[in-house]
Each structure stands twice: as structure tokens, then as C-alpha cells.
Amino acid sequence: MKTPKRLQPLQEEGLIDEVMRQLMSGKEATVYVVRCGEEIRCAKVYKEASQRSFKNAASYQEGRKVKNSRQARAMEKGTRYGRKMQEEVWQNAEVDALYRLAAAGVKVPRPYICHEGVLLMDLVTDADGNAAPRLNDVELTPELARQYHAQLLHQVVLMLCAGVIHGDLSEFNILVDEEGPVIIDLPQAIDAASNTEAGVMLERDVNNLATYFGQFAPELNGTKFGKEIWKLFTAGLLTPETVLTGIVAQDTRPVDLGAVMEEIESAIFEEKERQRRLLEM
Ligand SMILES: Nc1ncnc2c1ncn2[C@@H]1O[C@H](COP(=O)(O)OP(=O)(O)OP(=O)(O)O)[C@@H](O)[C@H]1O
Ligand SMILES: [Mg+2]
């Protein structure tokens, strides 16, 4: 096909030789099948910030690092330079996460480069070499559902051991190749160590899996793998070899209300201080 405008810079740089077809147009990106020499790959073209939806929300951005404090200040203030930086951080987040995860042994499409808002990566394929279907489009037996669920839990644990939480894990962001599930779509990936909502996000990701596979294997409904994984992780006990049960003992200790109130008050104080400093700037 005729090379779409957004892919022209990559063709000029020799990163791709030919655009074969459009694969999908999602909420956040348009995905193309491209040829690079002999190889068939996948090019994900990110939409402009104004056309994107929830994934850009503040809770996902928290804990993301930029190169220097000048950039951080510009991003906070929302200057034109700041917005450009924000956009770059956003676009590079997925390629960074993919490199990190591939190195940690997580099954993700192999990334090559992110250039001019386009991520170049391996095309995930089925047994016939066609673009792999989404989990949502695959027929499952109870056995297969159990097998995929277990494989995905293992992937989530590997990811967390590498410090990454997907943040938008669902049957729409998982492809199925010959060997099983492959996790994709990571621009909103969360830093497990520095994001205060990390535990909530992890639990939500894992619960999404239980709910989806629970339709085919009902015993998965009501399992507490997310809570269990997070508890082990925060205790420093989670490893890729950890055997999970899906059961978490209820915490029956009385709540320390005084300590909770202190936490809240100190958070309010910190926020007031932050506002005051902003006004002074
Ligand atoms: N590496 C890949 N190999 C094969 N197909 C892919 C690959 N990456 C993306 N796709 C296809 O493109 C679709 C959209 O990709 P992705 O989920 O990353 O983008 P998105 O814009 O966030 O989509 P959505 O808003 O629908 O979640 C996927 O559902 C999948 O069908
Ligand atoms: Mg997606």
C-alpha cells in the first residue's frame, strides 16, 4: 500500500522497506504490518495526545522518570516544551517496558525501536504465519482456559519481578500464538516500586484474568491471586519460582485508626506544602 504519512520517516531512515497493510485501528494507535528486508514486522503508530483516552491519566504517569529536573518542571507546568517532553515520555514508555520485559524472560513481541512516535516490533503470528488473534477471539475449553490462566499468572509474576505492572491487562491486550498467550499494549505500564496505586493496579489486572477465564473454568472465580502476588511482592518474597495458591488469609487484626488518621493528615499537609511551593514559583 501507499506509505502512510506517519510511517514515511521510518522508510526514509531505512527502518522499514514497505508497508503491507493496516492491521487495526485502536483507541490509542493504528497498527500496520510492514516489511523490513526479509522480515515481516509490526508498526504501532501512536495517536496524538488529544485523541487518546484514559491511559494518559495522572495515576499511570506517576513515578515515571525524565532525564533532568528542567524537563520535570516544564512537564508540571504544561509549557509547550513540557507537553512535547510529556509526549516523548509517553511514546517511549512502551518500548522501554518491552525491552525490560524481554530481558526478564517475559513473552512479549520483540521491540526494535521507537522513532517519531512509531514503535517497531515483531509481529505476533499464529501457526500459519498470520497476525495472531486476540484472546477475546479464541474459543476456549475449560482445560485451555486453566492452562492460559496459569501461563499468564506466571508472566505477571515475571513482570512484577522486573518491576513492571501492565495496568490495562485484559482479553483485548493479549494475543495467542502457537505456544500460548502473549501480552501486548504497554504504554501505560506502571513502575511497581514508585507508583502509589501499584497494588490496586496489579490486583485489577489479575482479577481481569480470573473473571475472563472464569467464564470457561468457573473454579477460577473468586480466586485471590492478585492479593497473594502483591502481598508476597511487598514482603520481598516473590520470585519467578514462587508457587501460588490463589488463597489469602483474611487479616483479622484490629485496624489502627490512629495511625490511619496520622497518614491522612500528613498527606494533606504535604499537598498543602506542595501547593504553597507552586504558588511561590
Ligand atoms: N506485535 C503485534 N503483533 C500482532 N498484532 C499486534 C501487535 N501489536 C498490536 N497488534 C494488533 O493491534 C491491536 C491494537 O494494538 P494495541 O492494543 O497495542 O493498541 P491500542 O491502540 O492500545 O488498542 P486498543 O485501544 O484497541 O487496546 C491489537 O489488538 C492486535 O490485534
Ligand atoms: Mg490494546
pLDDT tens-place string over residues 29-50 = 999 999 999 999 999 999 987 6
**Distance between Cα 80 and ligand 2 center (Å):** 28
State yes or no: pLDDT of 249 exceeds 90.
no
Domain ranges of the chain: 5-234
**Number of the ligand 1 atom closest to the C-alpha atom of 168:** 27
The best mutation among 184, 186, 188 to test binding of ligand 1, ranked by most ligand atoms within 8 Å of the C-beta, falls on: 184
Q: What are phi and psi of 206, to 5 degrees?
A: -70, -35
Ligand 1 cavity residues, CB under 6 Å: 23-24, 26-29, 31, 42, 44, 109, 121, 123-124, 131-132, 134, 172-173, 175, 184-185
pLDDT single digits (tens) 1-21 = 999 999 999 999 999 999 999
**Number of the ligand 1 atom closest to the C-alpha atom of 131:** 4
pLDDT single digits (tens) 64-116 = 766 677 777 777 777 777 777 777 887 889 999 999 999 999 999 999 999 99
**Distance between Cα 46 and ligand 1 center (Å):** 11
**Distance between Cα 226 and ligand 1 center (Å):** 25
**Distance between Cα 28 and ligand 1 center (Å):** 9
**Number of the ligand 1 atom closest to the C-alpha atom of 185:** 18
**Distance between Cα 273 and ligand 2 center (Å):** 38
For residue 137, give the nearest of 188, 97, 101, 181 by alpha carbon.
181
- Can you state the angle between helices 198-214 and 142-161, rounded to 10 degrees? 170
For residue 45, give the nearest of 117, 96, 94 by alpha carbon.
117
Sequential DSSP letters for the chain: -PPPGGGHHHHHTTS-SEEEEEEEE-SSEEEEEEEETTEEEEEEEEPPGGG--GGGSHHHHTT---S-HHHHHHHHHT-HHHHHHHHHHHHHHHHHHHHHHHHTT---PPEEEEETTEEEEEPPB-TTSSBPPBGGGS---HHHHHHHHHHHHHHHHHHHHTTEE-SS-STTSEEEETTEEEE---TT-EETTT-TTHHHHHHHHHHHHHHHHHTTSGGGTT--HHHHHHHHHHTT---TTPPP-S------SPP-HHHHHHHHHHHHHHHHHHHHHHHH-
Q: Whose CA is nearest to atom 10 of ligand 1?
A: 31
**Distance between Cα 274 and ligand 1 center (Å):** 39
Domain 5-234: homologous superfamily in CATH: Transferase(Phosphotransferase) domain 1 (1.10.510.10)
**Number of the ligand 1 atom closest to the C-alpha atom of 133:** 31
**Number of the ligand 1 atom closest to the C-alpha atom of 47:** 21
Q: What is the pLDDT of residue 67?
A: 63
**Distance between Cα 192 and ligand 2 center (Å):** 21
- Residues 19 and 4: their CA atoms lie apart, in Å, by 8
The best mutation among 20, 21, 24 to test binding of ligand 1, ranked by most ligand atoms within 8 Å of the C-beta, falls on: 24
Which ligand gives the minimal distance to the CA of 32?
1
Tell me the pTM: 0.85
C-alpha cell at 73: 518542571
Mean pLDDT, residues 172-190 taken together: 96
Q: What is the pLDDT of residue 78?
A: 73
Which ligand gives the minimal distance to the CA of 136?
1
pLDDT single digits (tens) 204-227 = 999 999 999 999 999 999 999 999
How much of the chain, in percent, has pLDDT values that exceed 90? 71
**Distance between Cα 250 and ligand 2 center (Å):** 34
